């Protein structure tokens, strides 16, 4: 049994100590080509001083880009099976797929999530020769999806669904009854509706039921349609152009302060801090802050000082909102070399919460964005599909490549133990409810130590002077009393290889 206390992680300057160890351990490998061939290096001092890649770096980047574009530029279509007896949970909502109405709700909930994947042929990343993140940027893409979900909850109407999902072609999954005499009992789910321009009549439901469902959904559809300009604007923020505040260009630039560069491997905790800095840096999102937990601990007083605007205004501005909404990101490790099975029930209970916006992590060598589960399998969005870049500066650019129609699942026991869990609270009351609900979910673990904890007070009260979620001090920090003895059991929190 891999019993490891995740609360023993230590941060230095906003980056986990063991991540820095991993960076040093990986440095000798960085000059090895993706085909396993070691490329000779003849560094040019003048280029190194200017931060420019030399000729061998350019050749290496071109070879890797060409190989990864081929490797991830196509996909095998296969239907994922869901059973109609157990509920499917998606970010706090459950769907029992024993009726067409429930299947429709599940499809809309899944397809409405923003899907961000590898892209190719985008403007060159500054200081490199990369024009694609294919083969190395999957954790950045998973982090983008986590942030995008937080922004959807922050900006869109409650339970918003993308109205144009109805016009997509078939969704690749099927529903069957477990332990049926023959697997032929699995019946493919009908499509969302007729493809654009098709004259094929809908055959999903009898006409009277179609009318009934349409009447029930019409007010919601009108509200969702009115929110489409916001949906469009949100996607532009993740565009693959340098000015986009949450695009890969900006995230790579911010990552340099954590010792990362284009082409490097990113871990879930480093990405959490990159997302925090990206939101703090931009002015496009109003009334939102990002808090990253330290030592697997959420310090409530630190969140209060980050979100309560009255504490930072002298004198207070009565016209401003008193509380910022907050995205809380908690980097954790759920075991040693493999996922500790004792944490599975706890992860399920977290994904059942409406305040949860998902988990970024994956399976070994493969970053994923987890949004739900059914039985003993996780439901996820996969960034490992290389698509052409979309010019999001064009009016009415197509959103279709930013929404996935293929739900995928994987067993819990294949989940890498290193991950970052995300939550969202709109106001102070929601934050208090979040603390209570998440604490109950955490208590469901059979392990002695919870995945993470909420504590009263500020981080400085526990010996973490000079460092909080929105600062990046460079000094080492002392853990709260009682936690030091568990730190030796801690393994590297970001042992991912994304090729």
CB 293 within 8 A of CB 331: yes
**From 57, 133, 138, 355, the catalytic residue:** 138
Residues 6+ apart with CB under 8 A from 160: 112, 152, 223, 224, 227
**From 249, 384, 403, 467, the catalytic residue:** 384
**From 240, 264, 295, 382, the catalytic residue:** 382
Structure tokens at 251: 């995230």
Q: Supply φ then ψ for residue 57, to 5 degrees.
A: -65, -40
Residue 388's beta-bridge partner residues?
120
Residues 6+ apart with CB under 8 A from 401: 115, 117, 387, 390
Active site annotation includes 224: no
Give the alpha-carbon dihedral of 203, 209, 215, 220, to 10 degrees: -70
Active site annotation includes 296: no
Active site annotation includes 138: yes
Q: Which residues are catalytic?
A: 138, 382, 384
């Amino acid at each position: 049994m891999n019993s490891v206390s995740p609360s023993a992680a230590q941060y230095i300057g906003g980056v986990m100590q063991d991540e820095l160890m991993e960076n040093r351990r990986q440095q000798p490998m960085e000059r090895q080509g993706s085909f396993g061939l070691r490329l000779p290096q003849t560094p040019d001092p003048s280029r190194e001083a200017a931060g420019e890649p030399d000729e061998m770096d350019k050749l290496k980047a071109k070879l890797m880009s060409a190989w990864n574009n081929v490797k991830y530029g196509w996909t095998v279509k296969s239907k994922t099976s869901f059973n109609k007896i157990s509920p499917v949970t998606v970010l706090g909502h459950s769907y029992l797929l024993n009726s067409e109405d429930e299947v429709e709700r599940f499809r809309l909930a899944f397809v409405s999530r923003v899907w961000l994947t590898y892209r190719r042929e985008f403007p060159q990343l500054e200081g490199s020769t990369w024009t694609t993140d294919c083969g190395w940027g999957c954790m950045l893409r998973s982090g983008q999806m986590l942030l995008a979900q937080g922004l959807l909850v922050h900006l869109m109407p409650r339970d918003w669904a993308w109205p144009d999902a109805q016009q997509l072609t078939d969704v690749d999954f099927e529903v069957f009854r477990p332990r049926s005499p023959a697997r032929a009992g699995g019946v493919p789910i009908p499509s969302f509706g007729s493809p654009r321009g098709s004259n094929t009549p809908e055959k999903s439901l009898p006409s009277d039921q179609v009318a009934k469902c349409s009447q029930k959904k019409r007010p919601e559809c009108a509200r969702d349609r009115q929110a489409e300009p916001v949906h469009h604007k949100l996607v532009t923020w993740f565009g693959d152009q340098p000015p986009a505040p949450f695009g890969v260009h900006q995230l790579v630039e911010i990552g340099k302060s954590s010792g990362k560069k284009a082409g490097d491997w990113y871990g879930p905790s480093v990405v959490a801090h990159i997302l925090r800095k990206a939101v703090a840096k931009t002015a496009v999102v109003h009334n939102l802050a990002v808090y990253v937990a330290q030592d697997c601990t959420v310090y409530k007083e630190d969140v209060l000082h980050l979100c309560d605007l009255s504490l930072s205004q002298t004198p207070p501005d009565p016209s401003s909102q008193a509380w910022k909404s907050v995205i809380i990101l908690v980097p954790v490790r759920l075991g040693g070399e493999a996922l500790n099975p004792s944490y599975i029930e706890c992860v399920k209970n977290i994904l059942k919460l409406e305040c949860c916006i998902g988990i970024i992590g994956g399976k070994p060598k493969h970053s994923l964005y987890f949004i739900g589960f059914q039985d003993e399998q996780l439901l996820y969005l996969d960034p490992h599909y290389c698509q052409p870049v979309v010019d999001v500066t064009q009016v009415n650019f197509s959103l279709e490549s930013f929404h996935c129609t293929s739900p995928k699942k994987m067993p819990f026991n294949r989940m890498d133990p290193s991950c970052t869990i995300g939550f969202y609270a709109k106001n102070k009351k929601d934050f208090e409810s979040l603390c209570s609900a998440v604490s109950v979910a955490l208590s469901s673990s059979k392990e002695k130590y919870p995945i993470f904890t909420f504590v009263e007070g500020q981080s400085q009260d526990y010996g973490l002077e000079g460092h909080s979620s929105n600062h990046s001090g460079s000094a080492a920090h002392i853990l709260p009393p009682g936690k030091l003895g568990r730190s030796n059991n801690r393994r590297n929190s970001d042992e991912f290889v994304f090729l």
